Amino acid sequence: MRLRRKPWARPELAACPFFVDDPQELRGRWASRFPRRAPVYLELGCGKGGFLAHEAACHPEVNYIAIDLKSEVLALAKRKVEAALAAAGRPADRVDNVLLMSWDIERLHLIFGEEERVDRVYVNFCNPWPKPGDYKHRLTHTRQLINYRRWMGEGAELWFKTDDDALFRDTLNQYLPQAGYRTVFVTWDLYREQLPDNVPTEHEEMFAAQGIPIKFLRARPEGREGPP
């Protein structure tokens, strides 16, 4: 993703009450950082935050943690969350069900302890890393999925969308089974399914406009099945 430098991004995030400046400090007590006890949904690589903003505004009963490497996109996400909550009639100066942070997802284990619990993990349009030598950096690679399942409680699900056929095929056929997940829903063409609750991300809108089929799956760690 190409982005112009935004000198305002870091200062604006530093002043934002729902931006976590030092995520390592919260290790072991993420849930207590929210005013309300609620299911926790984790979005990995949230980018500009359109998906997060829509979800958080529509679901005050869910606590969202969204992570990206880049301050530039997180600052845009911060503004989108505030705007979406304001549009939903909730006070934009008291965003209480979102935490944003800048962190490398490959080092998630340094900020989430074994005792942490998440109820859903979203991976939307992550980098496909097309060269075999780089596969290990894919956010759905086996070694990443094994990490996520440490924090996924009973009934928790991974929701994964991508435009990339090879990444989707490898995730479905190799990474998920190797990491002990069971796929509970899969489509190679999300828009043909016309799922009424689908919330498009910025990348999804771009790829869908180009006529590229959007691939989507939901999967659960085996042994944590919960209700259907």
**67 in contact with ligand SAM (CB under 6 A):** yes
Does 190 help bind ligand SAM (rule: CB under 6 A)?
no
3-class DSSP state of 189: coil
- Least Cα distance to 209 among 165, 141, 157, 163 occurs for 163
Q: Which CB sits closer to ligand SAM, 142 or 201?
A: 201
Question: Is residue 201 involved in binding ligand SAM (CB under 6 A)?
Answer: yes
Strand partners, 186: 217
Q: Which residues pair with 42 in a beta bridge?
A: 65, 121
Which region among 53-61, 122-130, 174-182, 216-224 touches ligand SAM (by CB under 6 A)? 122-130
Contact call for residues 63 and 90 (beta carbons, < 8 A)? no
Give the residue with the Cβ less far from ligand SAM, 31 or 73. 73
In the complex, minimum distance from the CB of residue 215 to ligand SAM, in angstroms, rounded to a whole number: 13
Kindly state whether residue 70 participates in binding ligand SAM, applying the rule CB under 6 A.
Answer: yes
Smallest separation, CB 2 to ligand SAM (Å): 11
Q: Is 121 in the site for ligand SAM (CB under 6 A)?
A: no
- Axis crossing angle, helix 50-58 with helix 71-87, rounded to the nearest 10: 30
What's the token pair of residue 154? 């009973």
Least Å from the CB of residue 104 to ligand SAM: 5
Tell me how far apart the alpha carbons of residues 171 and 156 are, in angstroms, rounded to a whole number.
Answer: 18
Q: Nearer Cβ to ligand SAM, position 90 or 129? A: 129
- Which among 19-27, 31-39, 121-129, 189-197 is the span making contact with ligand SAM, rule CB under 6 A? 121-129
CA dihedral (129, 170, 203, 80) positive or negative: negative
Residues 183, 39: Cα–Cα separation, whole Å: 21
Nearest residue (CB) to ligand SAM, 95 versus 126 = 126
Residues 123-142 that bind ligand SAM (CB under 6 A): 124-127
The Cα-based distances of 39 to 95, 121, 135, 204 in angstroms read: 16, 11, 31, 25
Give contact residues for ligand SAM (rule: CB under 6 A). Answer: 1, 45-47, 67-70, 73, 104-106, 124-127, 201-204
